[in-house]
Structure 1
């Protein structure tokens, strides 16, 4: 084929290829965009979704421009294409407009996209204007009126589709999300420290009396499940009122661990739908219902299911004698596959209604079981061992030329563990033990929320010897305990399987957070510590070119020998910690301590991560830390907004506890007494006589 014939072929088929390419992208997004909820999705497939999300609009606009140029050529040279195919090609313009509106399953790829909703309104106006202009200037007055009617129906759907996207982006913008949630009510005369004490006394008493979940019927179970799976105010950093916290806590402990974990998954899935898709949500107890959005969704649902069918019928009954066979086939593909991609999103609209949603979730549970929740893993020493492999060493050498070796070290050795549910159950038991055995008042409640290994060391009587390791800055403690855990695994490989397994998984996850998401680990965490530690391990292993990268035992021994001989540094401190742990005398006790410390560190980090960061991470499937934060919130512990608004304690502990217990007794026996509170004056410390008056009725 000569160059001129290839150019002629491209000019002849360019429009068809572009239109069909746009169709393929929209179908791909309709089918595969929902799987980006999975955190274990391979980067290559996530890249394809991102590329389709960005490239879909560009390809559709390019196809419209090609259509316009093609019609201008026809007007100048009537013999350029045949008249029938000319009219048929113009019918593709409203279909391209539908493609520009995007899919129900993806409105934003990143949370920052939602803040650009005003810009997208202008984009939608320009897209509709250009498409209408191309259509009106290209449509022949002598064309079949049935084709014109089909085009008008498709235009109506396309216009709705284009303006649906900025509407969805505005609804999911952070400021709009904040105003849609119900904050805690205004407090005017309430003594906050007494109300907090009352909540703690009620919660501790409830958990102690309900250590095992009761037997519930389906209606009760569904009620508690729906309460916990509503959109959580965690993501906008709102603190719940204490009464709401107590109700959520009761719902959580009424459910078994498996059902409670399913509630967490549903809640995160619903939040993902609000922020990153066009799906409209029903009213729940935390948020205001968007009546305008609901009516718009119902209207668009009716248009989606009826207008394309009517257009297909009109196309089939129109005259086709003058059309080219290839254009007829392309038009059929466009109409049917566009309708199919619309129908794929129809269940999402249909099952957003509450009673149908239950049926859909039951259907999905048994026919399409959900994949396990994955926990990201990164081993500091394991990454250093892998870096010695030829393929990674070459990659690091290339990255060094572009100052990207630190970034590559973060990626080498990253993997995922499917034990998210098991770790969540372990965190749930930790919180439960806290309510039963430790939390007695406000002070102990705050202490429990601030523990990052102290409780485990106290419980096992080794705080005096090991306490120094958790008193260092949090990011330094993470590195020391992470390396010490690897040392213990190497020297004590036959420890209790459950404790050692989960200790290692949490250890690797916390190191992953430090290397990849330091802002989520703790504000102010230093990723440079990870880079420095990683480089130090690589330097230790550099001289062993004769040792196979697979001989990990020999390489680990070299690292330990280096740590023993060092006088300072993180390796030396990690070895001192590992030595002290191994000298506890009992492997079971050692792994109980290590596992307990890591669970506390995980909760410590989860309670200090901003809700915005949790919401932002949902675009790539979410971080496992979000599960832990949500569980802590529902279990009645403090999370980020609660820690920022701690009340100042002014009353003596005994007096505060006695007042709280009186309030609980009064609530349980409303006819016995009435508690009357005086107003809390922030400038004047209240006296005991001003705090509460007990009046007999």
Structure 2
């Protein structure tokens, strides 16, 4: 096949390939939720990033190709079905409910997505109104798809704006202030310490389920002492297992609110809108099935069936997923999955990275560009260990010990919160200089020191397996991971 034949084939199939590729990317984005949450699938996250970037680009390029194609060819019936693909591309631009943002910075780009919404909806409607020549049944199907596409696309910038840092702070402020007004007065620090200490000393272990009401602590927003004291009595009464599950439920809710549209559909009205989306897609598929297709291109008919069928199935996946969360068997499976995924602690060991504990892979050898080599070289040494439950237990014991034996008033409460390792250096005051460094430098110094002590010749293999020793190293590696790999955290 010569160059001219290849170009002719591409001109014929370009739009079909683009719309089918856009549909495939939407399926990748829908199932990317589990790739992002399951540690065993972390190597596939680069595909999620590519799909997230390519999803909007391919759909916009397909709309532009549709506009140019209709402008160049006005041959009527042979390509009339192509104009039905415009609202489907708008649906694809709306994205999937299980991924609204790939990183925190994406939430601040909601204004850009609003401009994209206006421009692409205008182009799609212009294309449709100028070149539509089909029957009334197909026209009805197209109107339903346009309604679905515009609603879904409009929901995207709204979800991003709701998950932005400023909106999160504003929402949490509106949530906490009524809690303060409910009490009629504001606790002082001394009053809070005394009541909190009483709660800790008088607590009785229980396993009653409890969930943190607000994610204010993840927005750098300091809650009032009155609000804290309303939450503390319920939390301290939980045994370690149920307290651990409550914290992870809060973290999962925060993840959904920041990176998914789930946070914006928890209200009854928004949940109903997602059910409406499903039936709009189904109605358009039924109308297209009943319409007359004589004279249309067979290949376009096949592509349209694929687009409508896959879009309808994708719109029904999410409501079915929500409904399945109330089925006992599915709830049990989901709990087992949460136990597996929530117990993972990311690890990054600077010493292992420097001595190249792992051999270079083919991917690292092929990374000829310096920035790509550094990226792969850095992320290849990330490990994940199932130690979150143990690490959380050690931290909780430390906090309980502080409340029982160290905190007696406001001054001791502040000193306890400012501890960075002073207790560990009670017998080694000459190392106090390491705590006077900037926080990031102190983390690196203590990280390297922890690793050297862990492998010191005087440390026996049996001692390395002790709970406290292993947890110390896990926490050290996790702090290095946050500093070097996730500094935005």
TM-score bracket for this pair, using the shorter chain length? 0.7 to 0.9
Is residue 325 of structure 2 the alignment partner of residue 342 of structure 1? no
Aligned counterpart, 1:540: none
For the 8 Å contact 1:279–1:348, the answer to whether it is kept is no
Deviation at 1:502, TM superposition (A): 1.7
Counterpart selection for 2:217 from 209, 228, 234: 234
Q: Tell me, in whole angstroms, the C-alpha distance in 2 between the residues paired with 1:405 and 1:67.
A: 39
- Comparing both chains, which one has the higher relative contact order based on Cα–Cα distances under 8 Å and sequence gaps of 6 or more? 1
Aligned counterpart, 1:98: 91
Residues 362/515 of structure 1: CA separation in 2 closer, same or farther (3 Å cut): same
Deviation at 1:305, TM superposition (A): 2.2
Q: Tell me, in whole angstroms, the C-alpha distance in 2 between the residues paired with 1:413 and 1:98.
A: 39
For the 8 Å contact 1:97–1:159, the answer to whether it is kept is yes
Q: Tell me, in whole angstroms, the C-alpha distance in 2 between the residues paired with 1:420 and 1:407.
A: 26
Aligned counterpart, 1:144: 135
Residues 20/213 of structure 1: CA separation in 2 closer, same or farther (3 Å cut): same
Give the SS at the match of 1:279.
helix
Counterpart selection for 1:504 from 461, 465, 473: 473
Q: Deviations over 1:291-326 (max 9, x none)?
A: xx753x245224312111111111111112323332
Deviation at 1:436, TM superposition (A): 1.4
Aligned counterpart, 2:485: 516
Q: Tell me, in whole angstroms, the C-alpha distance in 2 between the residues paired with 1:336 and 1:475.
A: 53
Q: Which has the higher helix share?
A: 2
Deviation at 1:424, TM superposition (A): 0.7
Q: Tell me, in whole angstroms, the C-alpha distance in 2 between the residues paired with 1:132 and 1:213.
A: 62
Aligned counterpart, 2:236: 253
Give the SS at the match of 1:416.
strand
Aligned counterpart, 2:400: 432
Deviation at 1:273, TM superposition (A): 1.9
Q: Deviations over 1:228-281 (max 9, x none)?
A: 2x3311122222222321232222222221221211221122122222222245
Structure showing greater radius of gyration is 1
Normalising by structure 2, report the TM-score.
Answer: 0.87
Deviation at 1:27, TM superposition (A): 1.2
Is residue 162 of structure 2 the alignment partner of residue 171 of structure 1? yes
Is residue 355 of structure 2 the alignment partner of residue 385 of structure 1? yes
Counterpart selection for 1:274 from 228, 248, 257: 257
Residues 101/513 of structure 1: CA separation in 2 closer, same or farther (3 Å cut): closer
Unaligned runs of 5+ in 1: 284-292, 520-612, 615-697
Q: Tell me, in whole angstroms, the C-alpha distance in 2 between the residues paired with 1:254 and 1:358.
A: 27
Q: Tell me, in whole angstroms, the C-alpha distance in 1 between the residues paired with 2:191 and 2:290.
A: 73
Give the SS at the match of 1:371.
helix
Aligned counterpart, 1:62: 61
Deviation at 1:396, TM superposition (A): 12
Counterpart selection for 1:213 from 157, 180, 205: 205
Unaligned runs of 5+ in 2: none
Q: Tell me, in whole angstroms, the C-alpha distance in 2 between the residues paired with 1:405 and 1:3.
A: 36
Q: Tell me, in whole angstroms, the C-alpha distance in 1 between the residues paired with 2:299 and 2:377.
A: 52
Aligned counterpart, 1:664: none
Counterpart selection for 2:288 from 284, 291, 315: 315
Is residue 13 of structure 2 the alignment partner of residue 13 of structure 1? yes
Residues 114/359 of structure 1: CA separation in 2 closer, same or farther (3 Å cut): farther
Residues 509/136 of structure 1: CA separation in 2 closer, same or farther (3 Å cut): same
Task: State the aligned residue count.
Answer: 480
Residues 317/72 of structure 1: CA separation in 2 closer, same or farther (3 Å cut): same
Deviation at 1:335, TM superposition (A): 0.8
For the aligned residue pairs, the C-alpha RMSD in angstroms reads: 3.4
Give the SS at the match of 2:279.
helix
Give the SS at the match of 1:490.
coil
Deviation at 1:486, TM superposition (A): 3.1
Q: Tell me, in whole angstroms, the C-alpha distance in 2 between the residues paired with 1:439 and 1:2.
A: 82
Normalising by structure 1, report the TM-score.
Answer: 0.62
Residues 441/419 of structure 1: CA separation in 2 closer, same or farther (3 Å cut): same
